[in-house]
A and B are shown apart, each in its own frame.
Chain A
């Protein structure tokens, strides 16, 4: 974690305070110096709560997980001592077919989801960017699925895919009789994944669209006009102007979505609880089960560390993508 931090420090010039420093220098210098010193002291005081609180909920679990992952720690066998077991917890998960297939599933889900969400999210952002009557309403309508709890979006789609209560079966059955009375969730693997994918995308595409919309808004209009005068078609100006200038926003949306998809949990828990069988278990879901159902904090700790490393790799890419901006 500290390595990522270092690169940022080196890469970013601290320009935020610079103009003011010059202004202060014009003041009688003792006053300026005294103020700078007291400012800095006050500054640390003001920043400390955020840093301490965030360390408590991230650094503490991280270190505890590292320690646990090299020890035996299972509450089911509460009397057994927490002995050092070396890398045994790690070999356990890497040899476990459950975990390895959960890893594969999670990666496939992540790739499919982010490609789909970015493409549809971009189309939606272009739509939201256009000036037309009712744009405010459309923006609010699109935001609602993002803003409701994941429990709501998951339960909502569980209802929709239920053959008795939902509209999916009702409409599909109206198109073709053979498509009615299908059990979507927890019966067929493919249909279960479809339900998860729909619920997840429905909730998260709006977020992608809003981030990309902000990116579109900072592209100056005269660039498009120049392209138009040069005789560029809509597609050409989209390829040559919009996409390149949207790169920072695209990378932000991409990384946020990648992390969310890699760590997907709520939707899985509510829609399928990992079923049918183990076929929709993801890394986060398996980690939850190991901690809370099996109360195995050694193996769970090892799983958590893999999750942290995955997330760290992705965020390192994010930080790198951010750097040339400032």
Chain B
């Protein structure tokens, strides 16, 4: 922490560098990089440990950490992964999660793009009230939705099905996506559209020919965030789904590896690794977009 505090703003570094180059700067740089290493370790070492545990055999897990079974265990096995797919049937929950998260993402992207465009460009009366409602909806306590939606789904005979989740998850995805896309459309210069409109194109033609092509990056960002948010849900899944065949992947993990005398963390962690892979890939390839998307909606 002291090391982080010692890291001055970029401008300050440049100025001090002029005055006194030498040991002070080297010490400070070293401390800074030390702090960076510590942060990276805190963020990623647990993931290493998860991978390590997932490659252990059941007997290694029973034996516990220590001796030859230390930070790097003496031998590795893929048995837990095979078990997760063969005995536990993890493929079904994975498929369920992919169906739900992708569907929610598609619905979100379409619906939020249209609304975002309208709120940014078309002069609707009460646009600010609508935006405030969307913001508040994003803050609605999830647990306060569960009772009434449970009763509704029970009445409709739609409990223990993944499809209602596609609609329910919109409460996670729509608020941030609509705000993000509204801000995005506001930043696109309106000259192009105005030119098309003056040339006699209708609003819908303009939307399709002029706006959609430039909107791709914004839509993409909203899509990535929506997928992550829908993929990550737990409260709705645990409340509405009862049969293992209908579980989403995060819910399925919670019932894995419960032996009579101990928990088989190699099994749990194999599933944890599998479920984290799509998210980790998204973060690695779209880090910039995610950061800009997270912050665009929040203040400006």
Contacts and interface: CB of A to CB of B under 8 A. Distances in A.
Do the two shown chains form a genuine complex with each other?
A: yes
Contact of B65 (A126, A142, A147, A169): A169
Interface string A1-15: 100111011001010
Given A50-B174, A139-B291, A143-B290, A292 B146 contact: yes
Given A155-B272, A164-B262, A141 B40 contact: yes
Given A40-B125, A308-B141, A126 B234 contact: no
Interface stretch (A96-104, A107-115, A188-196, A298-306): A298-306
Given A44-B124, A291-B146, A149 B232 contact: yes
A292 B39 contact: no
Interface in A24-39: 27, 35-36, 38-39
A47 B130 contact: yes
Given A136-B287, A159-B53, A167-B49, A50 B115 contact: yes
Contacts of A151: 232, 234, 250-251, 253-254, 275
Contacts of B284: 140
A130 B280 CA distance: 24
Interface string B1-40: 1001111111111010000000000000000110110011
Interface in A93-148: 120, 123-124, 126-127, 129-132, 134, 136-145, 147-148
A297 to B, nearest CB: 5
Contacts of A84: none
Nearest to B127: A14
Contacts of A288: 143, 146, 235, 238-239
Contacts of A44: 118, 124
Interface residues of A, number: 125
Contacts of A197: none
A14 B147 contact: no
| Listed residue (A16, A68, A259) with the most chain B CB atoms within 10 angstroms of its CB | A16
Given A291-B147, A325-B299, A4 B4 contact: no
Given A50-B174, A165-B53, A211-B294, A259 B32 contact: no
Contacts of A304: 141, 143-144, 147
A265 B143 contact: yes
A42 B174 contact: no
Contacts of B70: 170
| Listed residue (B62, B128, B147, B251) with the most chain A CB atoms within 10 angstroms of its CB | B147
A210 B295 contact: yes
Determine chain B's interface SS by DSSP, over half rule: helix
Contact of B143 (A43, A224, A307): A307
A16 B146 CA distance: 37
A130 B142 contact: no
Contact of B4 (A8, A126, A224): A126
Nearest to A315: B139
A46 B46 contact: no
B156 interface: no
B192 interface: no
A130 B32 CA distance: 10
Interface residues of B, number: 121
B129 interface: yes
Contact of A39 (B15, B49, B203): B203
B269 A5 contact: no
Contacts of B126: 9
Contacts of B152: 60, 64
B275 A149 contact: yes
A234 B294 CA distance: 29
Contacts of A310: 141
Nearest to A24: B194
Contacts of B234: 149-151, 265-266, 269-270
17 contacts: A14-B127, A20-B190, A47-B118, A49-B111, A60-B148, A123-B1, A127-B36, A130-B10, A134-B36, A144-B43, A147-B279, A156-B49, A156-B50, A164-B61, A164-B62, A252-B298, A304-B141
Interface of B: 1, 4-13, 15, 32-33, 35-36, 39-40, 42-47, 49-50, 53, 61-62, 64-66, 70-71, 111-112, 114-115, 117-137, 139-152, 167-168, 170-171, 174-175, 178, 186, 190, 194, 197-198, 203-204, 228, 231-235, 238-239, 250-251, 253-254, 262-263, 265-266, 268-269, 272, 275-276, 279-280, 282-284, 287, 290-291, 294-295, 298-300
